[in-house]
Amino acid sequence: MKIMVTGGAGFIGSALAHHLVGRGEDDVVVVDSFTYAANPASLAPLEGRKGFRIIRQDIRDARAVMDLVLAEKPDAIMHLAAETHVDRSITGSAPFIETNITGTWALLEASRALVVALAAPAKERFRFLHVSTDEVFGSLGETGAFSETTPYDPSSPYSASKAAADHLVRAWHRTYGLPALLTNCSNNYGPRQFPEKLIPLILLNALEGLPLPVYGDGLNVRDWLHVEDHARALDLVLRKGQPGESYAIGARCERRNLDLVDLVCDLLDERAPSLGKPRRELITFVEDRLGHDRRYAIDPSRIEQSLGWRPQVDFETGIARTIDWYLANPLWWGPLRSAR
């Protein structure tokens, strides 16, 4: 199968690329515009591998996207290219509208044109998988969990742009019959995550003895999913999922932000005790983020029951492995920190 992965130089996209190439059964074409959050070093171990290529392309250029998709004729497009940082969407929403909405539209139109041009059985084989977030559902109370039937209620410009993209994907399936699938995942963590996100930010600040900013009271709850488990889930949805369906992907792993920060501090104290004091003392509570959702949680029953997916990485093991990866790979994150 020839698979085009948009945003393949980003955090989740690169994990997916590593997973797909590691299977050794597919041709993988990464399409990425290499914005600030994309790191070529994330894909460096894959360069030169049989069936793997990288194409630099901005998905906001609809004409170029059309030409690219029609020329490459992929069997599947796994669409992960997106602006994703909530804080950045609050201070500057334009890139989120342009990439997450207009870019998704461009890919949908290119995919529709490709399907029209394909002959059977390639026409029946094609799939468009759109990767989205649980943030489109808004905030939960103290109980309950998001599922595929949860009404949309986005709180930030980022989540609103992803919600709009989700609706476009569903509309292109219902109106044009595009064989599209959709996933909504919980918060990812793991290696190669850009340092502006919570876990690598806290980890690297703590390593350097810098303040550890925690929004509000730190009691906001997130549901954590290891990025390699997510990659396995996306691969499974692509190959066995039902077009027109959506799949909520989560590991049933809720943690309060403050508890997570405490855990990262304690694990780092064990592995790099050179700071001379407990890193919990670096925690600094800062003014809460605008529109900050209180709690997220995913009910992954559909993907578990219909496709047989289960997470393989438990949270404590995953966090420890993540810290060890960052400690062992300063050449990956060092230039990104220097460019702040």
Only one residue has tokens 């890919």, namely 107
Whether 299 is catalytic: no
Q: Which helix (H) or strand (E) holds 4?
A: strand 2-6
Residue 27, φ and ψ in degrees, nearest 5? -90, 125
Maximum pairwise Cα distance, the chain: 66
Within 8 A by CB and 6+ apart from 116, the residues are none
Given a contact cutoff of 8 angstroms between Cβ atoms, the answer to whether 337 and 204 are in contact is yes
Active-site residue 134, yes or no?
yes
| Catalytically annotated residue among 109, 158, 228, 326 | 158
Q: Which of 32, 109, 135, 228 is catalytic?
A: 135
Residue 240: helix, strand or coil by DSSP?
A: helix
Closest C-alpha to 75, from 238, 275, 200, 290: 238
* Secondary structure class of 336 (helix, strand, coil): helix
Considering 83, 109, 134, 262, which one is annotated as catalytic? 134
How many helices (H) and strands (E) are present in the chain, helices listed first? 13, 12
Provide the annotated active-site residues.
Answer: 134-135, 158
